[in-house]
Amino acid sequence: MDVPQLEDLGDLNGRRVLVRCDFNVPLAGGVITDDLRIRAAVPTLRFLVDAGAHVTACSHLGRPGGSPDAAYSMGPVRARLAELLPGVELLENLRFDPGETADDPGFTERLIEGHDVYVNDAFGASHREHASVVGPPRHLPSAAGRLLAREVEVLSGLRDSARHPFVGILGGAKVSDKLGVIEALLDVVDELIVGGGMCFTFLAAKGANVGSSLLEEDLIEDCARLLDSGAPIRLPLDITALGPGGKIGDPSAGGEVRQVGTSMPDGWMGLDIGPGSAVEFCDVVADARTVLWNGPMGVFEDPRFAAGTRTLAEAVAECRGFTVVGGGDSAAATRQFGLADAMDHVSTGGGAALELIEKGDLPGLAALRGEHGSAGN
């Protein structure tokens, strides 16, 4: 991706720079529970500050619905940012104004007023055609921040120059969220492991009874088509399931937990890959020279159904090849299990990572290249 870099902006001393960051951090009772996304922006912000620029950061936080909401105030983020980089200003939540998600030109003009330069370091938002992402490059000299540039370098490299064997691992809830990326990955991977809730639609396409497991009936034919094509898709051999009366996240509610095959009794719900599947998947990962993992193998937040995700995460961490975790829940899982530092790259944007792999571009990147009528590049 030939997007302009920070060095392309020239002398920044005394210039006012607007930086779109992704500070959409998790909060509990107004307290930040994971500041990774704030810390990830520090290299870009520090470069600008050291260059003599006056830096203003902006970001969204949650989904406040286009109007001010104290629950989504940037106050906690502003306080943490001030600890890391005193002097960097932070605007209030961009999504307090409906013009942000509508890509309203008027909102863009208000946002960039008084600024000389724009930097996009919000990879996790760059698949959105929002005013703060695609608007400023139409008016200001613009560039990619360090985080955005690194994400693009790594993820584009998976499409174009990955070392083989290349193993893709996809989990999460729904096939519908990832059908496009499944088809894109099948063009480049040697094997594609499918787990999580999405595996049950594939298993149903093979004739398995998936009980009360998550199932997208309207996509069974698509899954069957992919399987019948001879694509190198590897599905679970066994499942960890919860019996009738059980409740996800509440072991005290009862319900038997049992290892079953790929067909399960009526009323049972598959919530993790089984131990046999975990061993087989880990063997595949061990031989890989490139691994892309996006999506957990089960409901890892419930300790009864965390083993599959944990075991696979450990295998990816131990793999000698180049390992990429594609953001979202899989990134959260690596942090929960204390394995994030063992991965070569943990993306800050799950949806953006998948869209870049699937489509090869993002609206935010196209805007930086001046492909949306940018006046500044």
Q: Which residues are catalytic?
A: 37, 174, 328, 351
Contacts of 291 (CB under 8 A, 6+ apart): 166, 167, 168, 169, 285, 316, 319, 321, 322, 323, 324
**Under 8 Å between Cβ of 302 and 273:** no
Exposed/middle/buried for residue 356 (C-beta within 10 Å: 0-12, 13-18, 19+): buried
Beta bridge partners of 259: 240
Give how far Cα 321 sits from Cα of 110, 184, 325, 349, Å.
47, 21, 13, 22
DSSP state of 97: S
d(CA 295, CA 164): 21
Phi-psi region of 138 (alpha: psi -120 to 50; beta: other; left: phi over 0): alpha
Give how far Cα 191 sits from Cα of 29, 178, 200, 238, 328, Å.
43, 16, 18, 19, 22
**Under 8 Å between Cβ of 344 and 321:** no
User: Which residue's structure tokens are 């088509």?
Assistant: 225
d(CA 13, CA 49): 9
Element (H, E) at 273: strand 269-273
| β-strands 239-242, 257-260 pairing | antiparallel
Contacts of 272 (CB under 8 A, 6+ apart): 239, 240, 297, 298, 299, 300, 304, 305, 306, 307, 308, 309
